[in-house]
Amino acid sequence: MSKTYVVGFPRIGEQRELKKALESYWAKELAFDEVAKVASVLKERHWRYQQDAGVDYISSNDFSFYDTMLDTAVMLGAVPKRFRALKKEEQYFAMARGNDHAAAMEMTKWFNTNYHYIVPELSMNDTYCLDAAKVIGEYQEAKVLGIKTKINLIGPITFLALSKRIDGGDTFELLHKILPIYERLLEEIALLDDEVVVQIDEPVFVRDNAPKVLSLIKPVYEKLASVSSVLKVIVMTYFEHAGEALKILVHTPVWGIGLDFVHGKENLAGLGQIANSDKHLIAGIVDGRNIWKNDMDATLTLLEEISTIMPKERMIVSTSCSLLHVPLTLKYEASMNEEIKNWLSYAVEKLDEVTMIGKIFFEGKSSLSAQEQQFYTDNQKANENRRHSTMIHDNQVEQRVGSITKFQRDGLYEERIKIQREKLNYPDLATTTIGSFPQTAEVRKSRGDYKQGRIGKEAYEAHMKAYIDHCVAIQEKIGLDVLVHGEPERNDMVEYFAELLKGFGFSQNGWVQSYGSRCVKPPFIYGDISRPKPMTVEWITYAQSRTDRIMKGMLTGPVTMLNWSFVRDDKPRDEVSKQIAVALSDEVNDLQNAGIQIIQVDEAAFKEGYPLRKEKSEAYESWAVRDFKLSVAQAYPATQIHTHMCYSQFNDIIHTIEAMDADVISIETARSGNQLLKIFKEVGYKQEIGPGIYDIHSPRIPSVEEIVTQIRLLLEVLPKEQLWINPDCGLKTRKWEEVEPSLLHMVQAVEQVRAF
Ligand code: GLN
Ligand code: ZN
């Protein structure tokens, strides 16, 4: 009986082998054949992990040299013109990363995860044709090793929903070109064996889809699920409940439907529909998005609840989504606190959870061997320990956070801004930057040396202060109005604060793929959060002491701290966020009392934290706004609060942004002229705004003239009294040779505009 299932597995390798091989290949130090060898080793290792754990449904085609959306584009022959002359891997990586002649394809976030996919470029004028080599090859590669896999594909509806049309128009208009290729692919797959399971991922089904999109589900899956009787077609959804799409899917000839019960509890309400059909249910119950050990007892209760409606014979237990979004194995976490480590479970550890839960659910506890029984008891103990650990619960924090009554700062914006303008006396079109300056090799080395104990605190601080002096001197020379210290002491805007707050933990090897070869190592929040001592005051006040101009203090906001961490699952997210906000509010207070007059609280990840379903947006907005405001609630009316957000599309959320009540917001609009600013005017947005004036993601140095043009465009929309002038985002990834002239041009452009 095949009963346990894993949606997909990470591919980067437990020592990030794939990353290293790819980067050596890109640096021309390694031949592609060698990268392919590394890939084969990894694929086999990952299959064996799953096989050893006893997983019944193991995937092929979940591997990728870069990204599976890109692989799907290649499979469909959707190669943009500018890459067509290139061959094989050269073409593949040029599509992902660009080359001297052609810009890379766009990349964007995969739903509400921190994984980024390549956005396919489609056109009605193009012809598409099947390239099944990778799909077929990976299946056979596993088969040779004695492993029969299910084949993972990204479904046509999700593929089209996430692609863009370069000739204008709706991507779904291309369905008639794409669908036959999927059919041909399935015909080829059907030749592989007597029976093949195909998992077709349609995560787009968990969004609020337009009726037009929903109307495609039936015709598409009627076709795809009846290509061959050899195939068992599973439509996989994850990250949310499948809602309306489920109602339609049950009336198509698919064999199975995957639902996420961790992030889409509402799926429970749809169970009757599956029960009344002949479909199999792939029940996602082990969290593929978080690193906590599964609470097996709670999960078994959930499964029993499901099975009161759904016949067990048609149930399969699974991860909630691909394990791509969690690190690979705890094996290398040698220096982690043992108690905390015992609460965690990465991809490899989750495999055993899936199979053990499956065994108990389908065969009963009495079927467990002594060793399996031990696994189960250990799981119960670990969960029990976590529930009661003193490391998690801090009464003082709970009391303080529970008794907060002041949720916002004193004074209305209109009153505050008058006081601030008078006190700070900055000009219209005031110039500033977003915070970080280039993280040079020396800066990074010094931070690393200090962390590894190769240099002492004094030497380290002297290095950092020298760098801050350098940043101050350059900014004064350029003539910026509001300065920053440059953030040299920060490796990362979240990790820096996480390390200084109680309640955050860190891994040594908890890497998660972000895009291509890039990985991130998010901190995790395991306990109640508090601030043992000030986190930025020394650095900022030092920087302020070096100049007569205004020095802006720089913090990362509560919502961003939360969205870029693995968050504890034993407390609602909004409560965790509130704790961070309270800790930050003390920092704001300390900064202002130390003489800092402008404080920026970055909310780079505010928008990406939005739920996938509209019905949940309001709840998110209400606590996210509450906690941003709470984090600055102690600010005096005279203290100017800035915020920064790394995007530009504010149309849907403009009222929420307004409600955050920041005095000044800087946003990322450089690539869109004044178009995206119009919404601020339309709604009568009162607060001051710094629309990014040049794109920091490119090494290009903008000329004075083009910045002048850009400023004039902004002035067509908003008055000079309301505008600040700044780059798009932080400058840490740029070089000084780019930053200095760019900022100088920015200041010169402002002077020109002011003069007329
Ligand atoms: N202050 C941060 C910086 O400049 C902001 C970065 C961000 O929002 N991504 O680096
Ligand atoms: Zn930014």
For domain 4-8+47-65+120-388, give the CATH number. 3.20.20.210
Q: What is the whole-number distance in angstroms between the Cα of residue 619 and the centre of ligand 1?
A: 26
Residue of the CA atom closest to atom 4 of ligand 1: 730
Distance of CA 460 to the CA centre of its chain: 32
Taking the alpha carbons at both ends of the chain, their separation in whole angstroms is 79
Distance CA 381, CA 361 (A): 19
**H or E stretch including 333?**
none
Per-residue pLDDT band for 741 (boundaries 50, 70, 90) equals: very high
Residue 2: pLDDT over 70 = no
Q: Token digits for 34?
A: 């060698």
What single DSSP character describes residue 756? Answer: -
665-674 pLDDT, tens digit each = 999 987 777 8
In 3D space, the residue among 435, 459, 436, 438 whose CA is nearest the CA of residue 447 turns out to be: 459
Kindly report the average pLDDT of the chain as a whole number.
Answer: 97
285-312 pLDDT, tens digit each = 999 999 999 999 999 999 999 999 999 9
Q: What is the whole-number distance in angstroms between the Cα of residue 695 and the centre of ligand 2?
A: 11
Residue 1: pLDDT over 70 = no
Angle (CA) 588-565-200 rounded to 5° is 145
Q: Token digits for 320?
A: 């909630």
Mutate to test the pocket of ligand 1, among 729, 733, 734, 739 (most ligand atoms within 8 A of CB): 729
Q: What are phi and psi of 670, to 5 degrees?
A: -55, -35
Q: Token digits for 184?
A: 């041909």
In 3D space, the residue among 216, 287, 288 whose CA is nearest the CA of residue 249 turns out to be: 216
Q: What does the buried/exposed string (b/e) look like for 142-168 if buried means 16 or more CB atoms within 10 Å of the residue's CB?
A: beeeebbbbbbbbbbbbbbbbbebeee
The pLDDT value given to residue 694: 92
| CB-based contact 206:262 (threshold 8 Å) | no
The closest-lying atom of ligand 1 relative to the alpha carbon of residue 732 is 10
Q: Token digits for 54?
A: 């006893």
Distance CA 518, CA 516 (A): 6
Residue 546: pLDDT over 80 = yes
Angle (CA) 283-288-291 rounded to 5° is 135
Q: Which percentage of the chain shows pLDDT scores above 90?
A: 96
The pTM score is: 0.95
CATH 3.20.20.210 in the chain, residue ranges: 4-8+47-65+120-388, 409-754
Query: Strand 502-505 to strand 524-530: parallel, antiparallel, or no bridges (unpaired)?
Result: antiparallel
Residue of the CA atom closest to atom 8 of ligand 1: 604
221-237 pLDDT, tens digit each = 999 999 999 999 999 99
Residue 721: pLDDT over 90 = yes
Q: Which ligand is nearest to the CA of 733?
A: 1
Per-residue pLDDT band for 649 (boundaries 50, 70, 90) equals: confident
Report the pLDDT averaged over residues 78-99: 96
The pLDDT value given to residue 650: 86
Residue of the CA atom closest to atom 3 of ligand 1: 730
Q: Is 503 left (phi over 0), alpha (psi -120 to 50) or beta?
A: left
The pLDDT value given to residue 756: 83
Torsion angle in degrees (nearest 10) through CA of 59, 65, 68, 69: -170
Q: What is the whole-number distance in angstroms between the Cα of residue 645 and the centre of ligand 2?
A: 5
Q: What is the whole-number distance in angstroms between the Cα of residue 365 and the centre of ligand 1?
A: 51
| CB-based contact 576:501 (threshold 8 Å) | no
Residue of the CA atom closest to atom 7 of ligand 1: 604
573-619 pLDDT, tens digit each = 999 999 999 999 999 999 999 999 999 999 999 998 999 999 999 99
119-150 pLDDT, tens digit each = 999 999 999 999 999 999 999 999 999 999 99
Q: Which residues are catalytic?
A: 697
Ligand 1, residues at Cβ distance < 6 Å: 434-436, 487, 493, 554, 602, 604, 644, 646, 729-730, 732
Question: How many other CB atoms are there within 10 angstroms of residue 596's CB atom?
Answer: 22
170-210 pLDDT, tens digit each = 999 999 999 999 999 999 999 999 999 999 999 999 999 99
Strands (E), 459-589: 482-483, 502-505, 512-515, 518-520, 524-530, 550-556
| CB-based contact 231:194 (threshold 8 Å) | no
List all residues 6 or more positions away from 478 whose beta carbon is below 8 Å from its beta carbon.
740, 743, 744, 747
Question: How many other CB atoms are there within 10 angstroms of residue 88's CB atom?
Answer: 8
Quickly name the fold that domain 409-754 has.
Answer: TIM Barrel (3.20.20)
610-623 pLDDT, tens digit each = 999 999 999 999 99
Mutate to test the pocket of ligand 1, among 644, 665, 667, 668 (most ligand atoms within 8 A of CB): 644
Q: Which ligand is nearest to the CA of 729?
A: 2
Residue of the CA atom closest to atom 1 of ligand 1: 435
Q: What is the whole-number distance in angstroms between the Cα of residue 603 and the centre of ligand 2?
A: 8
Report the pLDDT averaged over residues 409-413: 97
Distance CA 259, CA 246 (A): 9
In 3D space, the residue among 752, 675, 745 whose CA is nearest the CA of residue 717 turns out to be: 675
The closest-lying atom of ligand 1 relative to the alpha carbon of residue 730 is 4
**Helices and strands, number each (H, E), in the chain:** 27, 24
The pLDDT value given to residue 569: 96
Give the burial class of 187: count Cβ atoms within 10 A of its Cβ; 0-12 exposed, 13-18 middle, 19 or more buried.
middle
Q: Which ligand is nearest to the CA of 556?
A: 1
The pLDDT value given to residue 672: 74
The pLDDT value given to residue 737: 97
The pLDDT value given to residue 698: 86
Q: What is the whole-number distance in angstroms between the Cα of residue 719 and the centre of ligand 1?
A: 26
Mutate to test the pocket of ligand 1, among 561, 598, 601, 602 (most ligand atoms within 8 A of CB): 602
Residue of the CA atom closest to atom 9 of ligand 1: 604
Q: Which ligand is nearest to the CA of 602?
A: 1
Distance CA 150, CA 15 (A): 26
The pLDDT value given to residue 674: 82
